[in-house]
Amino acid sequence: MNPQPIDRYAETLARETRDSVSASAAITTEKRVDILARDFPDPDGLRRLAGQIKQHTLEHLDDYLAKAVRALRDNGVVVHFAADAEEARKLILGLLSERGVRRVVKSKSMATEEIHLNDHLAAHGIDCVETDLGEFIVQIDGDTPSHIVRPIIHKNRREIARSFEAHGLGDYDDDPETITRRARIHLRSKYMESDAGITGGNFISAESGRVVLVTNEGNARFSMAPNRLHLALIGIEKIVPRDRDLAVFLNLLARSATAQQLTVYTQFINGPRASTQPSGPEEMHVVLLDNGRSRVLATDCREILRCIRCGACQNVCPVYRQASGHAYRAVYGGPVGAVLSPLLAGERFSDLADLPKASTLCGACREVCPVDIPIPDLLLRLRARAKEEGVRTPASIPMAPFATLATSPALWRTAMTASRAMNHLPTAALPVKPLREWLKLRTLPEWRGGEFRKWMKKRKQS
């Protein structure tokens, strides 16, 4: 088989990056196996149970979603729906602007990554600070996360120390403890001065409307203590039927993600703060995001919507370990991303149709998945779909451009996913020659957004 873009990206990834991604993913994988086997008599039975509960919920999503919405509203939560990223951004911006919000603190959320919320808010004068340590570093670097749970798995302490120095967060010091303390001090004032907190949500119980949020750092707690408005952006697939089912998922999530029995902070949020509580939001809004999920539900790959974003399939995957997350050119990398990203891309399926090919089909992802998603089967179904639709994947692209692109994840990603911007720009004016040449080989879909121009501006500055 021809090498796929991901393989090529991997070949040219800095040795150091590859080694560190690979080593830390491998360690987490081992610890995960240990803790599951030590704690549970039948960990595989538990995974199958969790998978069934989620599959059942998805196959009755109209009912459960309606129930969840009723329960949320009964709890005093204002519920909104967003069909796509644009509607979600507009909605959130509207809610914030109406209330005169200028400063927002945000707790790690893949859904907000998906809709590129930070850039949108920044463009409208709202300062939105990422508070998860890894996401904060990603933000100051103008980078994107490369792992669902460990956003900076691709960075080493020296790079981080240099960024901190460049951003006025103290003289160069690459001690992880110093880095953490400096972020702590810097972010505290951000929380305390914030007008609103934005979070994602790991689960919603349809029975009680409880929104469940897990973090280890405490940033979600801090995002909803000093300010008056809490806004949660949550995918419609995050529903579970009953409160008791939460125990199933919480027992699996942290063990699968970080080999902890439980995340340090598990929050169950049932609306604005209690009347007796002096700190915390007076208003809580939940924005339920579709953004392609209902379409995925209608395909024969709907099992992927069971995903609870633990990252175990990334850690175990030989391709991910070699290539790291940016190679997948989308918000979700690794095996989960290879399935989910092309599906969520909708009309632009063909842009990412090579991802399902970048797998050895070794089956490891299926074995670790806490909700028992048959990822290899789904990859095969997507390959078949690409073939049916006659999608040409960019396997025939010459090697040289990849070498250049792989030296900069941002460049690579932009080239591959935002290449749709190219028809809008004179290709000859591009600053990077190999990119220019590579792009000649692609037919370019219609231009959709402004991300590429921003990237160009940055390239020119640097």
Partner 1 sequence: MSDTEASLFAALRETVSGLAGRTPLPDYDETILLASGRLGSGSEWESFAANFEAASGRPMETTADLATFLKEGGHLRGYCDPLLREKVGSVLQTAGLEVSYEYDRERYDDFAFGITRASGVVAETGTVVLNDHETSDRLAALTPWVHVAVLSEEAPVHRTLSDAIRAFGDCPNVIWVTGPSKTADVEGILIEGVHGPGEQICLRL
Binding interface with ligand SF4 (CB under 6 A): 148, 307-313, 336, 368-371, 373
Among 130, 1, 2, 8, CA closest to 416? 8
Contacts of 117 (CB under 8 A, 6+ apart): 88, 89, 92, 106, 128, 198, 233
Q: Is 424 in the site for partner 1 (CB under 8 A)?
A: no
Choice between 114 and 195, CB closer to ligand SF4: 114
Q: Is 39 in the site for partner 1 (CB under 8 A)?
A: yes
Q: Report 386-415 residues binding partner 1 (CB under 8 A).
A: none
Q: In the set 269, 343, 368, 397, which binds partner 1 (CB under 8 A)?
A: 269
Place of tokens 């290899």: 376
From 119-127, 132-140, 365-373, 432-440, span contacting partner 1 (CB under 8 A):
132-140
Q: Report 219-238 residues binding partner 1 (CB under 8 A).
A: 219, 221-222, 224-226, 236
Q: How far is the CB of 266 from ligand SF4 (least distance, A)?
A: 17
Choice between 93 and 395, CB closer to partner 1: 93
Q: How far is the CB of 346 from ligand SF4 (least distance, A)?
A: 20
Residues in the chain: 462
Whether 212 and 250 have beta carbons less than 8 Å apart is answered as yes
| Partner from partner 1, ligand SF4, none contacting 219, C-beta within 5 to 8 A by type | partner 1
Element (H, E) at 59: helix 43-59
Q: What is the maximum alpha-carbon separation in the chain? A: 65
Contacts of 185 (CB under 8 A, 6+ apart): none
Choice between 336 and 430, CB closer to ligand SF4: 336
Residue 129, SS3? Answer: strand
Choice between 169 and 379, CB closer to ligand SF4: 379
Q: How far is the CB of 121 from partner 1 (least distance, A)?
A: 21
| Partner from partner 1, ligand SF4, none contacting 313, C-beta within 5 to 8 A by type | ligand SF4
Q: How far is the CB of 110 from partner 1 (least distance, A)?
A: 16
In whole angstroms, give the CA distance from residue 208 to residue 309.
22
Whether 9 and 405 have beta carbons less than 8 Å apart is answered as yes
Choice between 212 and 430, CB closer to partner 1: 212
Contacts of 112 (CB under 8 A, 6+ apart): 106, 118, 198, 200, 233
Q: Is 244 in the site for partner 1 (CB under 8 A)?
A: yes
Place of tokens 């109406």: 98
Contacts of 408 (CB under 8 A, 6+ apart): none
Q: Is 283 in the site for partner 1 (CB under 8 A)?
A: no
String of contacts with partner 1 for each residue 201-220, x by CB under 8 A? -------x-x-----xxxx-
